Structure 1
Amino acid sequence: MVCPGEKIYDCRRQLLAIQDTLDILGGKWKVTILGCLAMGGKRFMDLQRELAGIGPKMLSKELHELEMNGLIKKNEEGKYEMTSYSDSLKPVIEVLAAWGAQHRVKVMSMQ
């Protein structure tokens, strides 16, 4: 049997973990950048071309933050790629993409 105090602690611990994740991945572009890089390494200009609407200054900032957190690296060929550390995010990105595609179909069917 779990006492009510333990449930509150588990909830707070889970919320703290979610907040930590959002602190690293939050914002409009980071998950999108990782989703793009999950398909393979890309050069800066390739990323900018594929991520419609992002400016070079913002892309540079987001790439820098992702690098600082150990989620991406720039290889010898000048391509950005996910690190082995961030590979664990690939299933999360796939689930987000699948949910988004399903939601788009639902929204389109409501119109």
Structure 2
Amino acid sequence: MKKISEMESIRECSSNYILAVNDTINVIHGKWKAAIISSLLFGKKRYGELQKEIPKITPRMLSKELRDLEANGMVVRTVHDTIPVTVEYELTQSGYAFQHVLDVMLEWGLEHRKRIIGSTK
């Protein structure tokens, strides 16, 4: 994580702030990446386990999103020399560090849902 003074200087410059936010969005853009990362926060998973845990994701989309997350350094893919071949996915250090972002998203989502549902009554 960045030092507090460095974070304060980034917050004072809109272009640096926007750049950092865009970097984050570029890594997790799409409907499924946050769900995949969330699932992998609970430990290594095989492809089939991920597919069962994430409702409505197609096999093609899961494969694409896993490749993207791997390319962005969020997920590592391990192929075990077994018969049949076993492939496991797990989060990298950056992937686990992303839990802080997901926790904030969780809090915001719960509060937002409460406000919206409360305001429609």
Q: Same fold (TM over 0.5)?
A: yes
CA distance in 1, matches of 2:110, 2:33: 19
Query: Please, what TM-score do these two structures have when normalized by structure 2?
Result: 0.75
Query: Please, what TM-score do these two structures have when normalized by structure 1?
Result: 0.80
CA distance in 2, matches of 1:79, 1:95: 28
Residues 30-63 of structure 1: CA deviation (Å, up to 9, x unaligned): 1111111112111111111111111000000000
Name the residue aligned to 1:24. Answer: 27
- What 5-or-longer segments of structure 2 have no aligned partner? 1-8, 81-85
Equivalent pairs: percent with the same residue?
Answer: 35
Name the residue aligned to 2:17. Answer: 14
Name the residue aligned to 1:68. Answer: 71
CA distance in 2, matches of 1:107, 1:68: 37
1:78 alignment partner, one of 87, 106, 117: 87
Residues 58-109 of structure 1: CA deviation (Å, up to 9, x unaligned): 0000000101111101234522110123221111112212322333333333
Q: Does 1:99 align with 2:108?
A: yes
How much is the aligned-residue C-alpha RMSD, in angstroms?
2.2
Name the residue aligned to 1:36. Answer: 39
